Amino acid sequence: MGLVHVRRWALAWGNTVAGVTTEAAAILPSRRWAALACVAVALLGAPPLWAASDTAARAAAAERALTEMRAAFQKGEASRLASLLPQVQGHPLEPLAAYWALRVRLDVASADDIRLFLTRWRGTYWEDRLRNDWLLLLGARRDWPTLLQEVAAFRMNDDAEVRCYTALARLETGLVAPGDIAAEVRDTWLAQRAAAPGCAAAAGRLIQAGALTPDVAWQRARLGVEAGRLAIATQAVGLLNPEWVPLVERAYQSPQRYLDDKVTALRHRTKEIVTLALIRLATQDPSAAAEEAAHLRWRAQLTAEERAWIWGAIGKRAALRLSDDAVRHFARADDALLPDDWRAWKVRAALRAGDWATVRRTIEHMGDKQRQDPTWTYWLARALHASGRPEDAAAAREAYARIAGSAGFYEKLAAEALGQPFTLPPAPPPPTPAERAAIRANAGLQRALLAIELGLRSEGVREWQYEIALHTPGGLSERELLAAAEWACERAVWDRCINTSSRTRDAIDMAQRFPTPLRELVVRRAREIGLDPAYVYGLIRQESRFVSDARSHVGASGLMQVMPATARWTARKIGLNGFEPSQITDPEVNVQIGTAYLKLALDDFEGSMAMAAAAYNAGPGRPRQWRQGPELEAAVWIENIPFDETRDYVKRVLSNTTVYAAILTGQPQRLSSRLGRIGPRLATARAPDTDLP
d(CA 457, CA 448): 8
Q: Which H helix or E strand runs over 570? A: helix 564-573
Is 597 within 8 Å of 577 (Cβ atoms)?
no
Amino acid at site 347: V
Max Cα–Cα distance, the chain, nearest Å: 92
- Cα distances from 42 to residues 1, 27, 31, 271, 434, in angstroms, run 16, 21, 19, 83, 26
Burial class (CB in 10 A: 0-12, 13-18, 19+), 207: buried
- Cα distances from 422 to residues 104, 657, 673, 674, in angstroms, run 51, 11, 12, 13
> Roughly what angle, to the nearest 10 degrees, separates helices 245-253 and 270-284?
30
Burial class (CB in 10 A: 0-12, 13-18, 19+), 506: exposed
Three-class SS state of 678: strand
Is 15 within 8 Å of 25 (Cβ atoms)?
no
d(CA 131, CA 118): 8
Is 536 within 8 Å of 544 (Cβ atoms)?
no
d(CA 493, CA 463): 14
Is 351 within 8 Å of 235 (Cβ atoms)?
no
Of 445, 449, 441, 451, whose CA–CA distance to 93 is shortest?
A: 451
d(CA 334, CA 504): 39
Q: Specify the DSSP class assigned to residue 686.
A: P
Using only C-alpha atoms, what is the Rg of the chain? Answer: 29
Is residue 453 flagged as an active site residue?
no
Query: CB neighbours (10 Å) of residue 490?
Result: 11
Burial class (CB in 10 A: 0-12, 13-18, 19+), 152: exposed
Burial class (CB in 10 A: 0-12, 13-18, 19+), 684: exposed
- Sign, Cα dihedral of 254, 258, 259, 260: positive
- Give the dihedral of Cα atoms 320, 326, 332, 335; nearest 10 deg: 50
Alpha helices (H) along 337-408: 340-353, 356-365, 368-371, 374-386, 390-403
Is 590 within 8 Å of 548 (Cβ atoms)?
yes
Catalytic residue (one of 416, 467, 486, 543): 543
- Sign, Cα dihedral of 577, 581, 583, 589: positive
Contacts of 374 (CB under 8 A, 6+ apart): 403, 407, 408, 410, 411, 414
Is 380 within 8 Å of 359 (Cβ atoms)?
yes
d(CA 471, CA 488): 18
Report the catalytic residues.
Answer: 543
